[in-house]
Amino acid sequence: MRRIVAAALGLGVACGALGGDQSASEAIAQYRQMLEDGNPAELMELRGEELWTTPRGPRNVTLEQCDLGLGPGVVEGAYARLPRYFADTDRVQDVESRLLTCMTTLQGFAYEDATRAWYKAGSDLEALVTFIATRSKGQPIDTPVKHAKEVEALAVGADFFYRRSGPLDFACATCHSQDDRRIRLQELPNFENPASARTSMTVWPAYRVSQSAVWTMERRLIDCIRQMRYPEPELGSDAIIALQVYLQHQARGGVMQGPGIKR
Ligand code: HEC
């Protein structure tokens, strides 16, 4: 499959050179459609479901009592309503950080064990996120901004989005606040434009052909920040969660489509 996609994207480049940008993105859209029945992310979803329902950790229990915001054990629609405030941790949490709360408190994992090599292709954490996200397919993004800490996170996320910093003096907005922008073949979503924000936020986690791996939104954001030459944020840091509150807010109402396919 990897070879087919690589060939497809190669063709896209050629088309782009000959026929302009439109045909390149059309070619990619076409191959994306062809792969829809066989997105490798589906394997991650299955593995994530198995991890969710298998007794694990020092306490040998499943994650089925984990509260993702809609009550213990409710997975359906939870991802579309994250990040959100959780009273037990007194924090706004996204799906990764919430899963880590459950893995440490319910299953008894040490934090270092639960997060070890989370960024490796096919990691347990990313498989669990993929499973949870898939269970929001068809649900509109509806991240709450009610609790004072949710309101604060939205403001911090927006500030991060527009603040120029680092050796390159980039803000997220430098690359993501205009329509029809692209770097090489990759279209850059304009997160100021709700339609564009929805197109992006509804298809993560996504199988990234260039990486041969499923990436979660946290992973995507940490990598954009790394490319901006900022200090690399930690998994589950408040900054990454605040950014997600902002991006979800911009994309609110967009209907989740399950794992996508990206370059
Ligand atoms: C120098 C330009 C640049 C900056 C600055 C930048 N990004 Fe990106 N971003 C990209 C590119 C290029 C991609 C697509 C990467 C790829 O797939 O190869 C991308 C992809 C993304 C995506 C996934 C979009 C999709 O395909 O659905 C999100 C979300 C995102 N960026 C958010 C951010 C946020 C938040 C910031 C600020 C912390 C940021 N980016 C800063 C260039 C940038």
CA of 93 to the centre of ligand 1 (A): 21
**Residue bearing the CA closest to ligand 1, atom 30:** 221
CA of 86 to the centre of ligand 1 (A): 28
Q: Given this model, what pLDDT does residue 185 score?
A: 66
Q: Supply the mean pLDDT for the chain.
A: 88
| Average pLDDT for 21-50 | 77
Q: Given this model, what pLDDT does residue 261 score?
A: 84
118 token code pair:
């989370």
What is the percentage of the chain residues whose pLDDT exceeds 90?
Answer: 71
Q: Given this model, what pLDDT does residue 22 score?
A: 59
Over the stretch 71-111, which tens digit does the pLDDT of each residue have? 999 999 999 999 999 999 999 999 999 999 999 999 999 99
Give the integer Cα–Cα distance in Å for 127 and 249.
25
**Residue bearing the CA closest to ligand 1, atom 25:** 200
| Average pLDDT for 38-60 | 93
Residue 177: name the closest of 152, 156, 194 by CA: 194
Are 225 and 234 in contact by the 8 Å Cβ rule? The answer is no
The single-letter code of the amino acid at 94 is D
Q: Given this model, what pLDDT does residue 213 score?
A: 87
Over the stretch 133-169, which tens digit does the pLDDT of each residue have? 999 999 999 999 999 999 999 999 999 999 999 999 9
Instruction: Sort residue 138 into left (φ over 0), alpha (ψ -120 to 50) or beta.
Output: left
Q: Given this model, what pLDDT does residue 4 score?
A: 43
102 has catalytic annotation: no
**Residue bearing the CA closest to ligand 1, atom 39:** 172
Pocket of ligand 1, beta carbon within 6 A: 170, 172, 174-176, 183, 186, 188-189, 200, 220-221, 224-225, 228, 243, 247, 262-263
5: pLDDT strictly greater than 80:
no
Q: Given this model, what pLDDT does residue 28 score?
A: 66
39: pLDDT strictly greater than 90:
no
